[in-house]
A and B are shown apart, each in its own frame.
Chain A
C-alpha cells in the first residue's frame, strides 16, 4: 500500500516532491537530432541499408550524370580492355563500357524489384483477405496454394518466360505469379487469427458488413507484416531477374540489366573477369541493402 500512496504524492515523509523532476524530464526531451542518433545506434543496420539503397537509387535515376557514356555504344577497337582511367570497370566483348552499363542496369533491377513487390502484395492481399474470411473457400484454396508453392519459384518463372515474349513487363509478371500464393498464405494466417478478435466482433455488432471489416479493421493490422514481406519479395525479385536474364530467359538482351551484362561476360571469365565482377558486386550490394532494411524493419515494427 505504501508504494501506491507514494506514487499519489500523499506520503509526506518521502523524498522531495517529484514535480520538479517531471519538469526536468520534460525539459530534457531529446532534440530530433539526438533521437535520430539514438535510432541509428539502436538500428545501425537498418540505417546503413536505407543509406546504401538511397545511394543506389540515386545512381540509377540520375545515371546520365555520373560520368557515364552511352550504354549501347560499341567500340570494337577497345574490346575486353581491363579497368583503367577511361573505363573504370573495363569494357565488354563489344567494347561497351561496363561502368556505364552497370549504372544503367540499376534502373532495371530497382524497377523490377519494386514493381514485383507492390504487385504481388496488392493481388495477394486482396485474395488473402477474401480467402481467409470465407471458411468454405479457405479449405479448398489452401490446398491449391500448397500445390502452387510446391513448384520451385524459379522453375515456375522460367516456364512462364518460355511462353511469353522477352520483355521487362513479362519478367515482372513471371516473378509476381510465384509470389502470390506466399502472400496469400501470410495474409490468410493473420485474417484467421484476427477474425476471432473482439474488435471484429464489436464491428459486427455495430452492423458493419464484411467488406468494411476486411478493409477498415483487418487491413490496418496487416500493414506491418506486409511491409516487411515487401522488402523480402523485392530482394528476391532483384535476384531472380538477374537469374532469368543470366539464363537467357529474362530481360531482352539489348537492355543493359545486371543479369544480361553477366550473361555476356560468362564466356570471358578467364579473359575479362571484370565484366562479371562489377555488375555482380552491385547486385549483391543492392540485395544486401534491401535485406538489411527488411531485417531492420522487422525488428522496429516488431513483426513476429
Chain B
C-alpha cells in the first residue's frame, strides 16, 4: 500500500511538469511580444524593457524554461508586477475564501445530489426520476453567475434574509461567516449537484440489476438498508471519481461566483490580475489550482482501495 501511494505520487510529477511547462509556454505561444502586452497600451519603451528583464524574457528560451522550473521546485512562484508582493503570499491571503466556498459547495452538493440520484435510480421512470433528471440537465445549462444574481435578487434584495455580497473570515464568528457563504455556495453547488446526481443515478441503475440486490430485497430487508448498504456502497466508485473530476468545474464556477458576490478569493485575484495583465499572478494561481486538482484526484484514486476491498495494490 505504501509502495502504491509512493508510486502514484511519483506518477503525478510528469503531469505537474506538463502543467508547469504549459503555463509557462502560454506566454510564448500567444501572438505578439508578451512584454509589450503585459506592459499595456500606455507603456514606454523603458517600462517594456523593465518587464522584459523582470520576467527574464530577455534570456534564451530554454534558459527561461530551466529557471522557471527551478523556481517552482523551490516553491517560488515569482512576484506580482502590480503589487510587488510574492505571488505565494497573495495566494495565501486569498485562499481562505475560496477554500471555504468550494468546501461548503461540495458538502451541499454531495448531501443533496447523492440521495437524489439514489432515489431517481430506485424509482426509475417515475415522476421523481424525471424531476431529478430535468433538474440535472437544467443545472448544467444554468449560467452560474446568472443564478447567483437571481438568488441575490430574491433572498438578499427582495426578502433581505441574507447579505447581498461580501465575506466574513471565520475568526469573526461562525454565524457571520456562514451567513455570507450560503448564497455563493448554493449558487456554485448547482452544476456540481447536477453532475453528481446524474452519475449517482447511472451508477445505481447498474448496481440495482445485480442478483444480490434482488436477494437483499427478497429476504425482506428495508429498502433504505438495501439502497444504502448494498447498492450505494457498490455504486460509489464512479460517484467518487466524478466528485474528483468535477473539482475542475467547481473551481471554474468559483472564479465567476466570487466575482458576483465580491468574495476575496483566488478567482477575484485571477480576474483582477487579468485586467492588470499581472501575468506572474495568473501563472501562480493556475499552477496552484491545477496542483490541487491533481492531488484531489490522487486521493480519489487511493480511496478506491478503501471503497472496494477487491482492489489491491
Q: Is the CB of A248 within 8 A of B275?
A: yes
Q: Within the assembled complex, what's the spacing in Å between the Cα atoms of A295 and B31?
A: 38
Of the candidate stretches A10-18, A28-36, A265-273, the one touching chain B is: A265-273
Q: Is the CB of A147 within 8 A of B15?
A: yes
Residues of B within 8 A of A (CB): 14-19, 21-23, 26-27, 30-32, 34, 37, 137-138, 140-146, 149-150, 152-153, 157, 164, 248-249, 251-252, 255-256, 259-260, 270-271, 273-275, 277, 279, 282-283, 285-286, 289-290, 293-294
Q: Which of B16, B37, B149, B271 contacts A147 (CB 8 A)?
A: B16
* B41 smallest CB distance to A (angstroms): 10
Q: Given the known inter-chain contacts A148-B22, A158-B274, please indicate yes or no for A243 contacting B145, CB distance below 8 A.
A: yes
Q: Is the CB of A147 within 8 A of B274?
A: no
Q: Which of B259, B277, B294 contacts A247 (CB 8 A)?
A: B259
Q: Within the assembled complex, what's the spacing in Å between the Cα atoms of A248 and B259?
A: 11
Q: Is the CB of B248 within 8 A of A153?
A: yes
Q: Is the CB of A161 within 8 A of B145?
A: no
Q: Is the CB of A159 within 8 A of B140?
A: no
A-B contact pairs, 15 of them (CB 8 A): A143-B15, A147-B22, A150-B18, A153-B252, A154-B252, A161-B274, A163-B27, A163-B34, A163-B279, A269-B149, A269-B157, A270-B164, A273-B153, A273-B157, A288-B138
> Is residue A126 contacting chain B, with contact meaning CB distance below 8 A?
no
In the A-B complex, the 4 residue pairs with the closest CB atoms:
A147-B18, A280-B146, A154-B252, A288-B141
Q: Within the assembled complex, what's the spacing in Å between the Cα atoms of A247 and B148?
A: 14
* B154 smallest CB distance to A (angstroms): 10
Q: Which of B140, B152, B273 contacts A269 (CB 8 A)?
A: B152
* B183 smallest CB distance to A (angstroms): 12
Q: Within the assembled complex, what's the spacing in Å between the Cα atoms of A239 and B145?
A: 10
Q: Is the CB of B275 within 8 A of A151?
A: no
State the main secondary structure of chain B at its contact with A.
helix
* A157 smallest CB distance to B (angstroms): 9
* B276 smallest CB distance to A (angstroms): 9
Residues in chain B near residue A161, CB distance under 8 A: 274
Residue in B closest to A240 when the chains form the complex, CB atoms: B252
Q: Is the CB of B293 within 8 A of A152?
A: yes
Residues in chain B near residue A262, CB distance under 8 A: 145-146, 149
Residues in chain A near residue B32, CB distance under 8 A: 163-164
* A32 smallest CB distance to B (angstroms): 29
12 extra interface residue pairs, beta carbon distance < 8 Å, beyond A151-B290, A155-B251: A147-B22, A155-B286, A160-B26, A162-B277, A163-B37, A164-B32, A242-B145, A248-B275, A269-B164, A270-B153, A287-B142, A288-B137
* B224 smallest CB distance to A (angstroms): 30
**Chain A: interface size category:** 35 or more
Residues in chain B near residue A290, CB distance under 8 A: 141
Q: Within the assembled complex, what's the spacing in Å between the Cα atoms of A277 and B148?
A: 11
Interface residues in A252-298 by Cβ distance below 8 A to B read 262, 266, 269-270, 273, 276-277, 280, 283-284, 287-288, 290-292, 295
Q: Is the CB of B18 within 8 A of A146?
A: yes
> Is residue A215 contacting chain B, with contact meaning CB distance below 8 A?
no
Residue in B closest to A155 when the chains form the complex, CB atoms: B286
> Is residue A199 contacting chain B, with contact meaning CB distance below 8 A?
no
Q: Is the CB of B31 within 8 A of A164?
A: yes
Contact with B along A230-244 (1 / 0, CB 8 A): 000001000100110
Q: Is the CB of B14 within 8 A of A147?
A: yes
Q: Within the assembled complex, what's the spacing in Å between the Cα atoms of A78 and B143?
A: 28
Q: Within the assembled complex, what's the spacing in Å between the Cα atoms of A262 and B148?
A: 12
Q: Is the CB of B248 within 8 A of A152?
A: yes
Residues in chain B near residue A242, CB distance under 8 A: 143, 145
